C-alpha cells in the first residue's frame, strides 16, 4: 500500500457520512460497484485545504451488461434513498455509459473510471468485507498534490479535449480550493 492509499483510507474512515455511504452501497451487492469521482476528490481536497464543502452528488457505479436500462438505475437509487435518505444519489451502470461519451463499450467499472476526464476525478472506493478497495487507474498522486490534468482519453490531441476544458471552466475548482494546479 502506498502512502497515498493509506492517507486516502484514513481520510475516508474518519468521515462517518462517507463510511455510511460506502456501507449502504455494499449492501446492494452490485457487480463491480464503487463510489467514485467528486465525492472522493472533494473530500481529499477539503481535508488538504482544511475546509468543508457540501456533498453535491454521490456517484455510484457498477457494471452489468445484462440490464442496461435506466429504469434499473432509478430502482437502485430508490433503494439507496430508503437505506440512507436525503442524499444526492446518482447510480450509473458503466455497461451503458460509453454511449454518452462516444467511446467503445467498457468491459468493467475500472475501464469506465479510466475514461473519466481528469486524473484526480478518476478515483473510486468500495467496502468489501470490512476492507476498503481503491480503484485509481492513474494513481493518487495528482489527487493529493492538487494537480488537475486530463486523463489520456481527454488530452489535447484527442477529440474529447474540449469536454475536459468545459468541465474545468464549469467546475471552478480554483474558486473553492486555492492553489490547485490545473493543466490547460
Domain positions in the chain = 3-144
CATH T-level topology, domain 3-144: Beta Polymerase; domain 2 (3.30.460)
Give residue 107's pLDDT. Answer: 93
The burial class, CB within 10 Å (0-12 / 13-18 / 19+), for 176 is: middle
Give residue 104's pLDDT. Answer: 87
Give residue 1's pLDDT. Answer: 61
Phi-psi label, residue 35: left if phi above 0, alpha if psi -120 to 50, beta otherwise: beta
Three-state SS string over 9-34 comes to HHHHHCCHHHHHHHHHHHHHCCCCCE
pLDDT (tens, 9 = 90+) of the chain, 184 residues, equals 679 999 999 999 999 999 999 999 999 999 999 999 999 999 999 999 999 999 999 999 999 999 989 999 999 999 999 999 999 999 999 999 877 777 888 999 999 999 999 999 999 999 998 899 999 999 999 999 999 999 999 999 888 899 999 999 999 999 999 989 999 8
Q: What CA–CA distances, in Å, run from 30 to 24, 27, 55, 92? A: 11, 8, 23, 11
Could you tell me the three cell numbers for 18? Answer: 462517507
Give residue 103's pLDDT. Answer: 85
Give residue 116's pLDDT. Answer: 95
Give residue 30's pLDDT. Answer: 96
pTM of the model: 0.92
Give residue 136's pLDDT. Answer: 98
Amino acid at each position: 500500500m502506498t502512502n497515498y492509499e493509506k492517507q486516502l483510507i484514513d481520510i475516508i474512515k474518519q468521515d462517518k457520512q462517507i463510511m455510511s455511504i460506502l456501507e449502504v452501497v455494499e449492501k446492494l451487492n452490485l457487480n463491480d460497484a464503487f463510489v467514485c469521482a467528486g465525492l472522493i476528490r472533494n473530500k481529499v481536497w477539503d481535508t488538504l485545504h482544511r475546509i468543508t464543502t457540501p456533498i453535491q452528488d454521490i456517484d455510484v457505479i457498477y457494471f452489468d451488461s445484462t440490464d442496461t436500462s435506466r429504469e434499473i438505475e432509478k430502482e437502485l437509487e430508490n433503494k439507496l434513498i430508503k437505506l440512507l435518505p436525503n442524499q444526492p444519489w446518482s447510480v450509473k451502470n458503466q455497461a451503458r455509459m460509453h454511449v454518452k461519451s462516444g467511446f467503445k463499450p467498457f468491459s468493467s467499472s475500472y475501464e469506465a473510471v479510466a475514461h473519466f476526464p481528469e486524473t484526480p476525478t478518476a478515483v473510486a472506493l468500495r467496502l468489501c468485507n470490512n476492507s476498503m478497495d481503491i480503484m485509481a487507474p492513474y494513481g493518487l498522486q495528482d489527487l493529493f498534490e492538487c494537480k488537475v490534468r486530463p486523463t489520456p482519453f481527454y488530452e489535447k490531441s484527442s477529440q474529447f479535449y474540449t469536454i475536459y476544458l468545459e468541465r474545468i471552466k464549469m467546475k471552478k475548482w480554483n474558486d473553492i480550493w486555492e492553489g490547485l494546479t490545473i493543466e490547460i
